[in-house]
Amino acid sequence: MELIFLGTGAGIPSPERNVTAVALALNEERGTFWLFDCGEATQHQIMRSPLKLSRLEYIFITHLHGDHIYGLPGLLSSRSYHGGTTPLTIFGPAGLARFIETSLQVSGSHLDYELRIEELQEGVIFEDEQFTISCARLEHRIDSYGYRIVEHDLPGRLDRDRLIADGILPGPIYQQIKLSKEPIAYEGRLLDPKRYVGPDIPGRKLAILGDTRPAPNALQLAQTVDVLVHEATFAEAEAELARRYYHTTTRQAAEIAAQAGAGELILTHFSSRYNREDLAWLIQEASRYHKPVYAAYDGYQHPIPRK
């Protein structure tokens, strides 16, 4: 599992930063990647990354401002040309379906795959055997959402040496023991999986939030996550400007991470007034209130290992 930042700027692109898009690469977990927001030229950024557009599985849109959605029509069309034939589902606020359907219809675009669009209701929006994803509304000029991604716990390590010592030879029974929580009948005896399987491996948790002022739901989504991705459009000294435009400062993002008991904080969505050289002092500002802090830049890759 790895985060790849494709665009880290706010509002408009700059020579150093494209507008917002973050990929969650799940190569080992599913052989796919998920995309959070899709600003203009996101498909170009994907071509400069290790990602393959054909492996895009889900898109999660935080809100409908142009710097978060204007890359969708081109990316959806190009996916067909890159060999994308598997279904693709897009989650986002009300109005997203109209935007996408109108763009594709007017441009005469043809997709070689099934496109599904799910407009958001707060709460759990996706769940399978690996992940649960929920969303909640934040505080911005238009409806803006944050996402919480929770990986399910994995079964612990199987103690093969103990199994063999107890006369249980390798075979399908090993998988049954690893996955079961109840005793298993084997050759006239009951095997207790707890004797042979270590503690569950905790799943990873992360939160990726859209544009927002500091908001109660941001704190809720970020509770005890391993990684929090939070906008920091402005430096600490620009708190009034951030409030006026419904954004967050470096300090405010760090305070949310600290109050939520989050692990790593990754700042992104920087105003074009800040350049690459400014990232060090933006990190320094936030680090007074929470650690560790990272400042994303276009192309930044951030692994999220299992504990």
* CA–CA distance, 188 with 190 (Å, rounded to integer): 7
Q: Is 302 annotated as a binding residue?
A: no
Relative to beta strand 115-119, strand 88-92 is parallel
Do 248 and 232 contact (CB within 8 A), yes or no?
yes
What gap in Å lies between CA 58 and CA 37, rounded to an integer?
11
269 is in an annotated binding site: yes
110 is in an annotated binding site: no
| Residue 63 annotated in ligand binding | yes
The amino acid that residue 58 corresponds to is Y
Instruction: Select which of 67, 112, 159, 200 is catalytic.
Output: 67
Structure tokens belonging to residue 229 = 């991705």
* C-alpha closest to that of 247 among 140, 93, 135, 137: 140
Give which of 57, 125, 51 is closest to 86, Cα–Cα. Answer: 57
d(CA 180, CA 152): 16
Distance, in Å, from the CA atom of 59 to the CA atom of 61, rounded to the nearest integer, reads: 6
d(CA 81, CA 268): 31
**Among this protein's residues, is 67 annotated catalytic?**
yes
Residue 140 annotated as binding? yes
**Residue-level length of the chain:** 307
Give the separation between CA 127 and CA 134, rounded to whole angstroms. Answer: 9
Check the annotation: does 82 bind a ligand.
no
Distance of CA 201 to the CA centre of its chain: 20
290 among annotated binding-site residues = no
Retrieve residue 207's tokens: 């939160």
Rg from Cα positions in the chain: 22
Question: Residue 254 in 3-state DSSP?
Answer: helix
Active site residues: 67
Give the residue ranges of the annotated binding site for Zn(2+): 63, 65, 67-68, 140, 211, 269
Give the residue ranges of the annotated binding site: 63, 65, 67-68, 140, 211, 269
